[in-house]
């Protein structure tokens, strides 16, 4: 069997590469921009703090996104759920001025929406891509409908401070929220039984079923988790913009997928990294920021952003070799 051994070893090396690729790319990109754009304030602590703040919502959604993709699923509803959650929260604050109820409304909507997606995927056996593509449109439309596309300002200063514009020791509260979610996500993914069951569901669903794991239940929980995290991201959008607006989170679903995949989670399921997703998300934020600092037009930014994502994923695929 020596030939098998050799092959296995070789692909092992590449898997490790793939796993650390996001960190390597991150460092390379960071150094590159520091050299090129250091003079334009790229390394200014304020600028870097800004990047962290701006990527918070994507980062938080990417925590749950890691579970979704590691389980071999995909969730396109997150951006729309965030918008709907922001609308619900802002309406509750306008009419009832009750913060806990606003959060419950926003996150609760995410839970219900996630549960419904889970139902579509497990009971009606829709592929998650189609189920969530449809639901994305339904929810986004709903967010437009509740106020006939009008924005709802939030006047509750406490809410805005805690969930958006507040600072602790000069650092945005959004960064603290992000850290909190990542601690929870990391433990859940790496240390809990649920995390292993997620990987097993994505890695070899039959094996998981034969091992007595209710993979359908795992999938439903993952979609609920994804919905809830997206709901919370919506609360943060509302707090930061001090308003609810139907257009929040537009396109976030794709940014989340990009962040998670850049972070080394396999699109085929079965392998993933929560911390990788954080770096994937920040990496995209850094690129965004640098392109703005470099004075590129929106059109140029969009093109380069897309190209960099393709490049980074291609790079990690190349290092991965012909593994599958």
Partner 1 sequence: MEQFVLEMKGINKSFGSVPVLKNVEFKLKQGEVHALVGGNGAGKSTLMKIMTGVYTLDSGEVHVNGKLAHIRDTRDAKAQGIAMIFQELSLVQSMTVAENIFLGEEIAHNGLRDIRSMNDRAAKLLAELDLDIDPATPVYRLSVGLSQMVEIAKALSKDAKILVFDEPTASLSETETSRLFEIIQTLKAKGVSMVYISHRMKEIQMVADSITILRDGQFILRDSVANLTMEQIISNLIGGESSKHKFDWVPRYYDENAPDLLRLESVKVNDKINNITFGLKPGEILGLAGLMGSGRTEILETLFGLHPKLGGTIILDGQKLDYSSPQEAIRLGFALVPEDRRKLGLVLNHSVRENLILPILKKLRGNKLQFLIKEKQADGVTEESVKQLNIITSSINKTIRLLSGGNQQKVVIAKWLNTNPRILMLDEPTAGVDIGAKSEIIQIIRNFADQGNSVIFVSSELAEMLAICDRIITIYDGRITGELSRKDIGVEEELQHAIQRS
Q: Which residues bind partner 1 (CB under 8 A)?
A: 1-6, 8-9, 11-12, 15, 187, 191-193, 195-197, 199-200, 203-204, 206-213, 266, 270-271
56 versus 198: smaller Cβ distance to partner 1: 198
Nearest distance from C-beta of residue 22 to partner 1, angstroms? 17
Rg, the chain, Cα only: 20
DSSP structural state of residue 247: T
Contact between 294 and 40 under an 8 Å Cβ cutoff? The reply is yes
Number of neighbours of residue 7 by Cβ within 10 angstroms = 10
Nearest distance from C-beta of residue 24 to partner 1, angstroms? 21
206 versus 298: smaller Cβ distance to partner 1: 206
For 96, what's the count of Cα atoms within 13 Å in the CB-facing half-sphere? Answer: 13
Nearest distance from C-beta of residue 240 to partner 1, angstroms? 33
135 versus 188: smaller Cβ distance to partner 1: 188
12 versus 130: smaller Cβ distance to partner 1: 12
Kindly report the backbone phi and psi dihedral angles of residue 86, in degrees, each rounded to the nearest multiple of 5, phi listed first: -65, -40
Query: Cα 75 from chain centroid?
Result: 10
Nearest distance from C-beta of residue 6 to partner 1, angstroms? 7
Nearest distance from C-beta of residue 266 to partner 1, angstroms? 8
Q: Are strands 243-244 and 167-168 parallel, antiparallel or unpaired?
A: unpaired
Burial of 124 (0-12, 13-18, 19+ CB in 10 A): exposed
CA distance 99 to 97: 6
DSSP assignment of 249-305: TTTHHHHHHHHHHHTT--TTSS---HHHHHHHHHHHHHHHHHHHHTT--HHHHHHHH
154 versus 274: smaller Cβ distance to partner 1: 274
9 versus 125: smaller Cβ distance to partner 1: 9
Tokens of 235: 């609360």
- 3-class DSSP state for residue 171? strand
Nearest distance from C-beta of residue 293 to partner 1, angstroms? 39
8 versus 155: smaller Cβ distance to partner 1: 8
Question: At which residue do the structure tokens 């609360």 appear?
Answer: 235
CA distance 93 to 253: 26
- 3-class DSSP state for residue 199? helix
Nearest distance from C-beta of residue 257 to partner 1, angstroms? 19
Nearest distance from C-beta of residue 2 to partner 1, angstroms? 6
């Amino acid at each position: 069997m020596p030939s098998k051994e050799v092959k296995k070893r070789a692909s092992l090396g590449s898997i490790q590469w793939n796993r650390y690729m996001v960190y390597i790319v991150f460092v390379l990109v960071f150094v590159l921009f520091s050299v090129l754009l250091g003079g334009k304030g790229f390394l200014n602590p304020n600028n870097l703090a800004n990047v962290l703040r701006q990527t918070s919502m994507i980062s938080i959604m990417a925590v749950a996104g890691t579970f979704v993709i590691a389980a071999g699923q995909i969730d396109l509803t997150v951006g729309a759920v965030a918008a709907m959650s922001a609308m619900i929260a802002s309406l509750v604050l306008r009419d009832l001025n009750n913060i806990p109820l606003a959060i419950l409304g926003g996150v609760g909507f995410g839970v219900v929406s996630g549960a419904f997606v889970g139902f579509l995927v497990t009971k009606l056996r829709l592929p998650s891509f189609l189920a969530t593509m449809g639901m994305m449109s339904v929810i986004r439309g709903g967010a437009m409908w509740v106020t006939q596309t009008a924005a709802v300002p939030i006047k509750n200063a406490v809410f805005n401070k805690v969930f958006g514009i507040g600072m602790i020791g000069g650092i945005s509260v959004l960064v603290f929220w992000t850290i909190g979610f990542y601690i929870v996500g990391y433990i859940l993914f790496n240390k809990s039984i649920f995390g292993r069951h997620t990987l097993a569901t994505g890695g070899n669903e039959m094996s998981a079923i034969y091992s007595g794991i209710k993979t359908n239940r795992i999938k439903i929980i993952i979609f609920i988790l994804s919905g809830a995290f997206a709901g919370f991201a919506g609360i943060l959008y509302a707090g930061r913009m001090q308003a609810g607006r139907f257009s929040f989170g537009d396109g976030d679903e794709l940014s989340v997928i990009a962040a998670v995949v850049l972070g080394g989670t396999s699109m085929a399921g079965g392998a993933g990294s929560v911390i990788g997703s954080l770096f994937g998300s920040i990496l995209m934020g850094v690129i965004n920021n640098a392109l703005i600092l470099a004075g590129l037009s929106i059109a140029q930014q969009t093109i380069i952003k897309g190209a960099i994502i393709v490049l980074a994923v291609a790079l990690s695929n190349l290092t991965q070799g012909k593994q599958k």
